[in-house]
Amino acid sequence: MKFLNKTFLIALAALSSISIYAQDETVEETPSPTFSVAGTVDAYFRGTEYAPATSFANGNGFALGMANIIVSYEGEKSGFVADLVFGPRGNDAVFGSTVGSTPIVNQLYVYYNVSDSFTLTMGNFNTFLGYEVISPAANFNYSTSYMFSNGPFSHTGIKADFGLSDDVSLMTAILNETDATEAQPVSGDYVFGAQLGLYGQYINFISGGADGVSQIDFTGGFDISDNFFLGINATSYEDDEGEWSGVALYPQYTLTDSFAIGLRGESFDVKDDNTFTSFTITGSYTSGNMIIKPEIRIDGADKNVAAWSANGTDSLSSFVLAAIYSF
């Protein structure tokens, strides 16, 4: 969240001992409130009939992603975000919605800057757990990981963000049941959430709910060089129905101002069920507001996966070419 600072500049003129003195005072104006509209539109081509058992980008042939429209208002102390999604990716992203046959609200929240280092937010917002997000423009890889696909997408509740120093932050939250978008289920229990940020690395945690959800998650990354970044995600999840855990590395190398290449290597284990491995190589070419992403992905499993072929198989290779426009 951006914090707005009000600064007063006062210039004092010299006081003359033999004449009348004068004082000039200049006050910087308070920044004007900002209203903005932004978003993305994406579509893709899948060159293989079968897709990995992860979220989004699972259509055959030429397929639609989503239109994402984000309307926001930023005042001196408060503001709001209304994030709307339309299309298959958007429908999958807000699957927890119970209103209407075509839900469109991805995020909807208001916030208040109590001070420069303390912000309160209430409403529905995307999860703070994990390395990947719903927006296709914000992920390096177009397809998503097993950890992202099985983890929470969104939360509804209230959170408090504290900037403890330039490099340390703390967030605490009281939330509805995970992915309960509009309201708390009648039989639900609240979930506690927290995030500790240390020098660009984040430890995330949620616990509670009717199913006894408990998840701890590490998300971070390091600039190995000016052109080489290494992202990291590791997580462990448990509820009354089972357990899963995973780890992924995201090495990304920038070759030119317009082209970069990245790899996602992931291991994902569902306790007493199956273990998945996945290697995804993605190119990212940027021209103005357009991003073109060709992607090759190879998935494997300890046991056959029914959705990977007509008769089930323990391996799958797939190709996707995506186009994303940001505005």
Asked if residue 302 is part of any domain, the answer here is yes
Q: What is the C-alpha to C-alpha distance for residues 193 and 215, in angstroms, rounded to an integer?
A: 10
The pLDDT score that the predictor gives to residue 270 is 98
Total number of residues shown for the chain: 327
Q: Please check the confidence at residue 98 and state whether its pLDDT lies above 90.
A: no
The pLDDT score that the predictor gives to residue 16 is 35
The pLDDT score that the predictor gives to residue 102 is 63
Q: Please check the confidence at residue 13 and state whether its pLDDT lies above 50.
A: no
Nearest Cα to 130, choosing from 146, 107, 106, 109?
Answer: 146
The pLDDT score that the predictor gives to residue 103 is 75
Nearest Cα to 52, choosing from 149, 153, 134?
Answer: 149
Nearest Cα to 320, choosing from 290, 284, 285, 293?
Answer: 293
Q: What is the C-alpha to C-alpha distance for residues 44 and 142, in angstroms, rounded to an integer?
A: 9
Asked if residue 168 is part of any domain, the answer here is yes
Radius of gyration of the CA atoms of the chain, in A: 23
Q: What is the C-alpha to C-alpha distance for residues 251 and 220, in angstroms, rounded to an integer?
A: 12
Q: What is the C-alpha to C-alpha distance for residues 117 and 121, in angstroms, rounded to an integer?
A: 13
| Cβ atoms of residues 78 and 112 within 8 Å | yes
Number of domains in the chain: 1
Could you report the per-residue pLDDT of 31-83, keeping only the tens digit for each? 788 999 999 999 999 999 999 989 999 999 999 999 999 999 999 999 999 99
What residues form DSSP beta bridges with 86? Answer: 67
Q: Tell me the torsion sign for CA atoms 158, 164, 166, 168.
A: negative
Q: Which residues contact 129 (CB under 8 A, 6 or more apart)?
A: 151, 152, 204, 206, 215, 217, 219, 235
The mean predicted confidence, pLDDT, of the chain is 90
Asked if residue 2 is part of any domain, the answer here is no
Could you report the per-residue pLDDT of 146-178, keeping only the tens digit for each? 999 999 999 999 999 999 999 999 999 999 998
Q: Please check the confidence at residue 141 and state whether its pLDDT lies above 90.
A: yes
| Cβ atoms of residues 325 and 289 within 8 Å | yes
| Cβ atoms of residues 317 and 48 within 8 Å | yes
- When pLDDT is cut at 50, 70 and 90, the band that residue 212 belongs to is very high
Q: What is the C-alpha to C-alpha distance for residues 140 and 133, in angstroms, rounded to an integer?
A: 10
Asked if residue 119 is part of any domain, the answer here is yes
CATH number at residue 213: 2.40.160.10
Asked if residue 193 is part of any domain, the answer here is yes
* One-letter amino acid for residue 272 of the chain: D
Helix (H) or strand (E) holding 196: strand 191-198
Asked if residue 177 is part of any domain, the answer here is yes
The owner of tokens 């089930």 is 312
DSSP letter at 16 equals P
What pTM value is reported for the model?
0.87
| Cβ atoms of residues 324 and 42 within 8 Å | yes
Could you report the per-residue pLDDT of 257-273, keeping only the tens digit for each? 999 999 999 999 999 99
Burial pattern 172-201, b for ≥16 Cβ within 10 A else e, equals ebebbbbbbbeeeeeebeebebbbebeeee
Question: Can you list the alpha helix ranges (DSSP code H) found in the chain?
Answer: 88-93, 146-150
- Residue 255 backbone dihedrals phi, psi, to 5 degrees: -90, -40
Domain hosting 264: range is: 8-326
| Cβ atoms of residues 246 and 232 within 8 Å | no
| Cβ atoms of residues 137 and 291 within 8 Å | yes
| Cβ atoms of residues 93 and 134 within 8 Å | yes
Asked if residue 216 is part of any domain, the answer here is yes
